[in-house]
A and B are shown apart, each in its own frame.
Chain A
Amino acid sequence: DTGVSQDPRHKITKRGQNVTFRCDPISEHNRLYWYRQTLGQGPEFLTYFQNEAQLEKSRLLSDRFSAERPKGSFSTLEIQRTEQGDSAMYLCASTHPGTTYEQYFGPGTRLTVT
């Protein structure tokens, strides 16, 4: 257990539905990252926050995806109108201000779109 928690751990949804995932980073960590990982591939960067500011978004983050970190603590990732191609593991990571090279990953949320 790294101290980063994600909820839910598993989500099954029907195509077209909206889903929201939550990430709670380690409390003093100011950077928070979201990744997506499909079977057999490494994690793909989606976006990251420094405190409440979203500083970078990948081209993978289509208009259907939105992430927030309103108070610089927990973050949410919402996917609207889910598609089967959204099925993946969604990982969250955070870093301490002094050691930003070491990302602490949560256990992930596995999304299955049927």
Chain B
Amino acid sequence: DAKTTQPPSMDCAEGRAANLPCNHSTISGNEYVYWYRQIHSQGPQYIIHGLKNNETNEMASLIITEDRKSSTLILPHATLRDTAVYYCIVRVNNDMRFGAGTRLTVKP
């Protein structure tokens, strides 16, 4: 599996866009990029996934670079409830392997 690199922590102002980066320079052609988040004391929650194209759903947008070596998760209008650890995962199949993730703190 390709290794992912994420910053350990980030801050974001409430109401602003939160842009969470992920590097996956060794990704192979058939590996998907998945994003999950984990709010304190809860199990992880699926956010979004993609292969090549940018994706958007009701929670977030996923931007994957053309060479697929990095991606960015965008929360367009962060709220205090978005404070969580965000995990970027690269996998061929749907069996997730979580790293340490990015701790996002949304501040008022």
Residues of B within 8 A of A91 (CB): 43-44
Q: With an 8 A cutoff between CB atoms, is A65 at the interface?
A: no
B95–A33 contact, CB under 8 A?
yes
Picked from B38, B42, B94, the residue with its CB within 8 Å of the CB of A100 is B94
B side interface size, CB within 8 A: 21
A42–B46 contact, CB under 8 A?
no
Question: Contacting chain B: which of A13-21, A71-79, A80-88, A101-109?
Answer: A101-109
B45–A105 contact, CB under 8 A?
yes
A42–B101 contact, CB under 8 A?
yes
Q: With an 8 A cutoff between CB atoms, is A62 at the interface?
A: no
Picked from B43, B85, B94, the residue with its CB within 8 Å of the CB of A105 is B43
Q: Which residue of B lies closest to A43 (CB)?
A: B98
B43–A56 contact, CB under 8 A?
no
| Residues of chain B from 8 to 54 with CB closer than 8 A to chain A in the complex | 32, 34, 36, 38, 42-46, 49
Picked from A31, A56, A102, A108, the residue with its CB within 8 Å of the CB of B46 is A102
B95–A101 contact, CB under 8 A?
no
Picked from A40, A42, A95, the residue with its CB within 8 Å of the CB of B94 is A95
Contact string against A for B residues 79-95, beta-carbon threshold 8 Å, 1 for contact and 0 otherwise:
00000010100000111
Chain A to chain B: the 5 pairs with minimum beta-carbon distance, closest first: A105-B43, A42-B98, A100-B94, A102-B46, A43-B98
Chain A contact residues, CB within 8 Å of chain B: 2, 4, 31, 33, 35, 40-45, 48, 56, 91, 93, 95, 100-108
